[in-house]
Amino acid sequence: MYNSSILKIKIFTLLRICAVFLTLATFSIPAFSQEKHEESAEKPFEPSEVILEHIADSHSLHVWNTTAIPLPVILYTDKGLEVFSSSHFEHGHADYTGKYYTYRLVEDKVKIVGANNILADSATVWKWNSSLIDFSITRNVASMWMGMIVLLVIFFSVSSAYKKRSGKAPKGLQSFMEPLILFVRDDIARPNIGYKYQRFMPLLLTVFFFIWVNNLIGLVPFFPGGANLTGNIAVTLVLSVITLIVVNLNGNKHYWAHIFIPADVPVWIWPLWWVIELVGIISKPFALMIRLFANITAGHIIVLSLISLIFVFKSMGIAPVSVAFVIFMDVLELLVAALQAFIFTLLTALFIGGAIEEHHH
C-alpha cells in the first residue's frame, strides 16, 4: 500500500515534469520563430544558419524570448587588455569603441573595425598574426563554470558524507555516486591500467564526470543549459591534449623503446617506423577529440533539425511528430552523454595502460 502510493506520487511528479517540458517547448517555438521574423521578414527560414548559430559559442546567454544576459568581453589586443560588457554590441547591431580600437560583433565573433570599415578577425589557431585575441567569458565558458560548480557541490558533499559516515554504508547522494566512482575504478581504470591504477584515478574521475555533467547540461533545452560545450572542438581539444600529455609523460622505457628502437624491426625501416609511431601518438588523442566533438555536436544538430522541421514546413501540424522525435532523440542523447564520457575515459585509461605496461619479452 505504502509503496504503491509512493509510486503514484513519483509517476505524477514525472508526468508534471514532462508537462512542463512540453509547455516550454511549445512556448519557445513561437518565440523563436517570432524572433526570426522580426529580423528578416522576407528572408526564408534557413535551418542550417539557425542550427549553426545555436551550436556555436556566443557572447550572451539567451534566457527567454528576446531576453539575454550579456557576458563580459575580454580582449587581449596588441595595445593592451580591454574588458567590457557584450551588451554594448546590442546583439551585433552596434559597434563599440574601446580604449584602443572599435569592435564589431559579426556572427558572434568580435572583430576590429579598421579604417574604411575593413574588419580584422581575431586570432585563431589557424591564423595567429592578429592584433586581437578574444578571451571573453562566452556562453560555453559560463556553462563550463556552472558544470564545475555542480561537480564541486556534488563531490564536496559526497566527500564530507564519507568523512561523517566513515566505515558505514553509503547513503543518499553518496550511495548514488559511489557505484559510478566504483564503475570508473573497477571497469575503466583497473582492467586497462593494472595495479598502478590508483595514481590515475583523480584524472579519470575528473574527466569522466566533467564530460558527463557537461554533456547533460548541454541537453537541458532551456536556460541555463543548452550550451554545446562538450561538442565544441576547443574543449575536446584541451581534454585530449591532457590525455596526450599524461600518456606520454608516464610512458615507461618499454613504451619509448618500442617507439624508438623496435627490437624486431630492421634498422633501415626505423625512420619510417618513427614517423608511423609519431602519427600514432598524435592520432589516438586526435580520435578522442573528434569522437566527443562529433557525437555531441551531431546530437545537438539532430535535435535542432527536428525542431526546425516545424518552421521548414510552416505548420503546427508537424509539431507533435517533431516533438515526439525530439523526445526520442533527447532520451538517446542521455545515453550518448554517459556513453561518450565512458568511452573518453576508457580510452584514456587504455592509452595510459599501454604506456605504463611492463613488457616481458
The CA distance from 9 to 6, in Å, is: 5
Q: Are 59 and 108 in contact (CB under 8 A)?
A: yes
- Dump the DSSP string for 33-51: HHHHHHH-SSSPP-HHHHH
Q: Are 194 and 353 in contact (CB under 8 A)?
A: yes
Residue selected from 58, 138, 243, 305 as contacting other proteins according to rule CB under 8 A: 138
176 binds other proteins (CB under 8 A): no
188 binds other proteins (CB under 8 A): no
Q: In Å, what is the CA distance from 181 to each residue of 51, 206, 273, 322?
A: 35, 10, 39, 37
The 302-341 contact track toward other proteins, x by CB under 8 A, reads: ----------------------------------------
> Which positions from 277 through 296 interact with other proteins, judged by CB under 8 A?
293
b/e code 44-80 from CB counts within 10 Å (16+ = b):
ebeeeebbeebbbbbbbbbeeeeebebbebbbebeee
205 binds other proteins (CB under 8 A): yes
Minimum Å gap between C-beta 36 and other proteins is 20
Residue selected from 12, 27, 64, 145 as contacting other proteins according to rule CB under 8 A: 145
81 binds other proteins (CB under 8 A): no
Closest CB to other proteins among residues 323, 349 = 349
Phi-psi region of 92 (alpha: psi -120 to 50; beta: other; left: phi over 0): left
Q: Which stretch binds other proteins (CB under 8 A): 177-185, 258-266, 338-346, 348-356?
A: 177-185
Q: In Å, what is the CA distance from 284 to each residue of 106, 246, 278, 287?
A: 35, 13, 10, 5
The CA distance from 336 to 357, in Å, is: 30
Minimum Å gap between C-beta 267 and other proteins is 39
The CA distance from 215 to 339, in Å, is: 10
The 38-77 contact track toward other proteins, x by CB under 8 A, reads: --------------x--xxx----------------x---
297 binds other proteins (CB under 8 A): yes
Minimum Å gap between C-beta 254 and other proteins is 27
**How big is the CA angle at 300 (ends 29 and 326), to the nearest 5 degrees?**
55
Residues that bind other proteins (CB under 8 A): 52, 55-57, 74, 107, 109, 122-126, 133-138, 140-141, 144-145, 148, 151-152, 155-156, 158-159, 162-163, 166-167, 178, 181-182, 185, 198, 201-203, 205-206, 210, 232-235, 237-239, 242, 293, 297
